[in-house]
Chain A
Amino acid sequence: MTPAVPALDADPVRFEPVFAPAATTEPRWVRALLITIALAFALLFLLIPLAVVFTEALRKGWSAYLAAIVDEDARSAIRLTLMTAAIAVPANLVFGVAASWAITKFEFFGKNLLLTLIDLPFSVSPVISGLIYVLLFGAHGWFGAWLMEHDIQILFAVPGIVLATVFVTFPFVARELIPLMQSQGTEEEEAALVLGASGWRIFWHVTLPNIKWGLLYGVILCNARAMGEFGAVSVVSGHIRGETNTMPLQVEILYNEYNFAAAFAVASLLALLALATLALKTFVEWRASAESAALRTGESS
């Protein structure tokens, strides 16, 4: 697979070739063509679908838009979505930090298996993620009879929605933190330990400042998925209006009732959430790279 050319890397001195641009770039028309194709594809598959959400939402004017958002069922869907995310995100945040601490700071048997299992929810279809909770807590499920006896409702109620959301957002924080903490090693923590710091103190004052951007990145992605999850939540929700409908489910119900303007109005809130997610994500990436660049120049000088 290695191309049959001499390895220039062996030469410690790197020459900046004077005519490099001509030799290692494409003719102007090829560049223009590729950029045009890329932009056209992005326009067709990214920008236009996004634009259609807002134009459809405002098709009947601002007053209809606002009416659709302050509607009783819509407001209860917004509340449920915020509440679900407020439980699922912190739960997976704590898990993500604990898992990456154990995996990156210590050696133990079965680490690779654990890594694979953490990623597992990503490769399970959302519908199956909902189905497994139906099998556990449904009327004929493992805990169904016991739950019925004690009059505890998990399926077709808020606990089921939260559980399904926790499942689908399970890996987000851990998979951001693990590679980051792996690359940082354990030297700084060990230095703090030698200087007499306690475990919590090491975490708060040494580890956390090092991982804060990665942590925030994971939380942003986790939150976006938690608020937007459709398939898994749809299976366990039972679609009770005003009670077990999250925002994406409310969008579906309104759409299936041919109430398109209202469906797109609620959808536009989720689209704004997506845009805010992208903006925050870009900001975090920019800060993280700016800080690591500053660190590098500090080290080399």
Chain B
Amino acid sequence: MISALSSLNSSTSARRRVLPGFHLALGFTVLYLSLIVLLPLSALVFKTLTMSWDAFWNTVSSPRVLAAYRLTFGASLVAAMINAVFGTVLAWVLVRYDFPGKRLLDALIDLPFALPTAVAGIALTALYAPNGWIGSLLAPYDIKVAFTPLGVAVALVFIGLPFVVRTLQPVLEESERELEEAAACLGATRLQTFTQVIFPTILPALLTGFALAFARSLGEYGSVIFIAGNMPMVSEIVPLLIVTKLEQYDYAGATAIAVVMLAASFAMLLTINLLQAWVRNHGRKETT
């Protein structure tokens, strides 16, 4: 793999641009990217620059907005942690064991990617409402899920699940069974082998999946707004607050909150890139 990549690099740098279409392809790419992505995103930055610092700060630190940050970040964190645990179990089971319905389960993991978020939102709400299939089972114990912060976390678990499973699966598939055999030969119990041999190899990928699920949850809108109940200060997420401001024609307020969330997203993007570099280096170290 590494030798293939390096030979690719040397061949392209030695005989660069022998193939036709470079200027056309790159020109079109940059133009399209600028028109569709960069120009609209820069509008967000310029709109923020027209605000005074005080106005900006007052908007992004008002009590209602702070409560929304707490809910969005808190529920995203809880959901990503739940997914890290159960996503690991799912990935492990899908890679290592054989059981009836395995292929179906594997295909179904991507459902949250494929199912429109609004559909997921109303389905989860119907399920967890006090008269729903699961809500009615929980009602006798006085556990309310729909229209509470707990409901937000449930929706975010649904949305984030594939990120953890799909990041872990290839790493588990490529992990070397010889290392586990060696550990067993040296007298390690299966539990010791898992915690000291397998877990360290999958940890970078697990953290990447966790970060991806968390980042996606921060911006999630469609699946959450139905089940959240959207009570200000209690179950109102940040993206909904942006929409509410827009509906009140408070463009500056919406933009200010959006910039804060965008900064959080970019911080996550950077973290994920660093984690992925770690995953790659980790794999390389073990194969050489």
Contact = CB atoms under 8 A, between A and B. Distances in A.
A251 B196 contact: no
A289 interface: no
Contacts of B81: none
A202 interface: yes
B243 A230 contact: no
Interface stretch (A22-30, A62-70, A208-216, A293-301): A22-30
B286 A2 contact: yes
B2 interface: no
B226 A255 contact: yes
Contact of A45 (B25, B36, B158): B158
A170 B221 contact: no
A138 B215 contact: no
B41 interface: yes
B123 A50 contact: yes
Nearest to B119: A267
A251 B122 CA distance: 9
Contacts, number: 318
A280 to B, nearest CB: 10
Contact of B239 (A46, A121, A126, A247): A126
B235 interface: no
A49 B116 contact: no
A228 B117 contact: yes
Interface in B89-132: 89-90, 92-94, 96-97, 99, 101, 103, 105, 107-120, 122-124, 126-127, 132
Give the interface SS of chain B, mostly helix, strand, loop or mixed. helix
Given A126-B222, A230-B222, A121 B118 contact: no
B117 A230 contact: yes
B173 interface: no
Contact of B118 (A27, A118, A267): A267
Contacts of A255: 122, 226
B25 A98 contact: yes
B57 interface: no
A8 B182 contact: yes
B90 A41 contact: yes
B157 interface: yes
B200 A1 contact: yes
Give the interface SS of chain A, mostly helix, strand, loop or mixed. helix
A243 B190 CA distance: 61
A292 interface: no
A120 B123 contact: no
Interface in B203-251: 215, 218-222, 226, 239-240, 242-243, 246, 251
A123 B107 contact: no
- Name which of A23, A126, A227, A252 has the most chain B CB atoms within 10 A of its CB: A23
Interface in B13-28: 13, 15-22, 24-26, 28
B43 interface: yes
A141 interface: yes
Contacts of A42: 90, 105, 108-109
A14 B176 CA distance: 12
B105 to A, nearest CB: 6
18 contacts: A6-B182, A25-B96, A52-B132, A114-B30, A117-B33, A117-B37, A123-B268, A135-B43, A135-B251, A182-B8, A190-B18, A221-B113, A229-B116, A231-B222, A235-B243, A270-B119, A274-B116, A279-B107
Interface of B: 4, 8, 11-13, 15-22, 24-26, 28-30, 32-33, 36-41, 43-44, 47, 86, 89-90, 92-94, 96-97, 99, 101, 103, 105, 107-120, 122-124, 126-127, 132-134, 157-158, 161, 176-186, 190, 193, 196-197, 200, 215, 218-222, 226, 239-240, 242-243, 246, 251, 254-255, 258, 261-262, 265-266, 268-269, 273, 282, 285-287
10 pairs of A and B residues whose beta carbons are closest in the complex: A125-B219, A228-B116, A199-B20, A230-B222, A23-B184, A231-B221, A132-B40, A102-B25, A274-B114, A102-B26
